[in-house]
Amino acid sequence: MTGAIMIQGTMSGVGKSLLTAALCRIFRQDGHSVAPFKSQNMALNSYITSDGLEIGRAQALQAEAAGIEPSALMNPVLLKPTTDAGSQVIVNGKVRGNMRAREYFSKKTELIPDIRRAFETLASQYDIIVVEGAGSPVELNLKKDDIVNMGLATMLEIPVLLVGNIDCGGVFAQLYGTFALLEKHEQELVKGLIVNRFRGDISLFDDGISILEEKCGRPVIGVVPFVKHDLEDEDSLSSRLEKTKNSGVIDIAVIRFPKISNFSDFDVFSQYEGVSVRYVTKPEELGEPDLLILPGTKSTIADMEWMNRTGLSREIRARANYNFPVFGICGGFQMLGETVSDPYGTECGGTAEGLGLLPSCRTVFHEEKTQLRTEGRFRDVTGFFSCLSGASYYGYEVHMGKTEGSSKPLTDSGGYFNGNTAGCYVHGIFDSSEVSGALVKALYEAKGLKYNGAVSDRRKQREKDLDELAETVRKSLDMNMIYRIIQEGV
């Protein structure tokens, strides 16, 4: 069987990414070779492929669901916001440059050959391509020269399933309103509707199905219940970032930078009994956590200046003076040093004073971006993070800056530690059961407690969650109708 199906949503956050992942897993389970595809993604959560190319984190998860290695073909255009009006533009996994929104919109049609080439290459290698749209297909002021929703479906002649999120209310207005605003030739591409994230007795929505089918003239392929899962979210719309209160024995606080990136680095801790992760934006929210983490950011200098303005820098330094454990990843690691400089304007330019918790460490941004997968072991570490000495890790690096200093080396891939402060560039460094397990046990012991729960490996947990998600979606959707839609095309 060969063909493609496209998942479009009535707006951002309706669950397109996870439905795409679920379908990839279902098609794989049914014996088909399958690959995900998203022509243009805007997200700060990214991933590095085995050949050192950068794509959206969601497409990496979808590839995992499909049982294949992530590839830049699956996400030929990635936009990583650097300011409210500009983004770093990544094409075919490599940085093309920084552009303001208006400049990008004037040039995005130039990327159509790259998008078409990527899709056609995947289509020649796999039985089924599951395509994900972005945001809403009826942002009327932005529809001109669309390359990710109906413009893409029209260009590649792909049938569309339109998804609405009932959990946030207004699903009739979402689905019917979106369908009504489509042009006639676009409506013809829509072959079915999906109601996602239903809570409660689904039979209570039977009348709703009839109403939607009458209004839109399209079948409702299924109603998918609200699924509790631990799979990573794509971007800053994630509800995880709203968590501000400690509800666990162990309290891990993460600074929520305005341009926070790759916050999926900390998802593994939610699998540990008694461990709570919360996100902090104000000094008064900081409290007395057991561990403070500075995450990645797409704009290190701007976010460092934000920490200075809010007073968070002062509070973090004060706690560090009392041997308070602090860990930084990527941009957060850069902030732990003495200075961060951007002489080439690769992000926003200028120089910022760091927290000074890693003495002598200085970061300078360069025009070349480091993009690589990595694995190794922690060195002989002293202080609180001595619990990680010799632990094996895996992950990836994606950063513009290079950090040098005379502090003690943290891992085989670099990084430094000083007292109870440590940092490195490796995203996903906590995913290994050796690392997260040792850290959680040490946090318990620091409070005079013993951790008796299970130790978790992020990769294994994702596999389990993907199987469970696929099982729920398979039961909820008319898969025979979906296969028929793929076979018949447009």
219 in the same domain as 165: yes
384 in the same domain as 280: yes
pLDDT along the chain (490 residues), means of 10: 92 96 98 98 92 96 97 97 85 93 92 97 98 96 94 98 96 98 98 97 94 98 90 59 73 96 92 94 94 95 95 92 90 96 86 93 92 96 97 95 92 96 97 96 96 88 94 98 96
**CATH number, domain with residue 349:** 3.40.50.880
Name the pTM for this structure.
Answer: 0.90
> Which is nearest to 354 in space by CA: 264, 423, 440, 400?
423
402 in the same domain as 278: yes
CB–CB of 294/390 below 8 Å?
no
Domains: count for the chain: 2
* Confidence at residue 441, expressed as pLDDT on a 0 to 100 scale: 97
* Confidence at residue 457, expressed as pLDDT on a 0 to 100 scale: 83
* Helix (H) or strand (E) segment spanning residue 193: strand 190-198
415 in the same domain as 305: yes
Phi, psi for 35 (deg, rounded to 5): -140, 145
* Confidence at residue 1, expressed as pLDDT on a 0 to 100 scale: 62
Residues of the domain holding 119: 3-231+463-488
Strand order in the sheet with 94-100: 40-42, 77-83, 86-91, 94-100
Q: Is the residue at 265 inside a domain?
A: yes
CB–CB of 128/27 below 8 Å?
yes
58 in the same domain as 94: yes
* Confidence at residue 385, expressed as pLDDT on a 0 to 100 scale: 97
* Confidence at residue 305, expressed as pLDDT on a 0 to 100 scale: 95
277 in the same domain as 130: no
CB–CB of 325/360 below 8 Å?
no
**CATH number, domain with residue 133:** 3.40.50.300
215 in the same domain as 105: yes
327 in the same domain as 434: yes
Q: Is the residue at 357 inside a domain?
A: yes
262 in the same domain as 225: no
424 in the same domain as 476: no
Q: Is the residue at 205 inside a domain?
A: yes
CB–CB of 292/328 below 8 Å?
no
Catalytic residues: 330, 427
286 in the same domain as 161: no
Report the alpha-carbon distance of residue 230 to residue 482 in Å, rounded.
26
* Confidence at residue 121, expressed as pLDDT on a 0 to 100 scale: 98
> Which is nearest to 308 in space by CA: 249, 350, 353, 262?
353
146 in the same domain as 21: yes
Chain-centroid distance of CA 113 in Å reads 26
**Residue 142 Cα distances to 19, 109, 145, 259, angstroms:** 25, 13, 8, 24
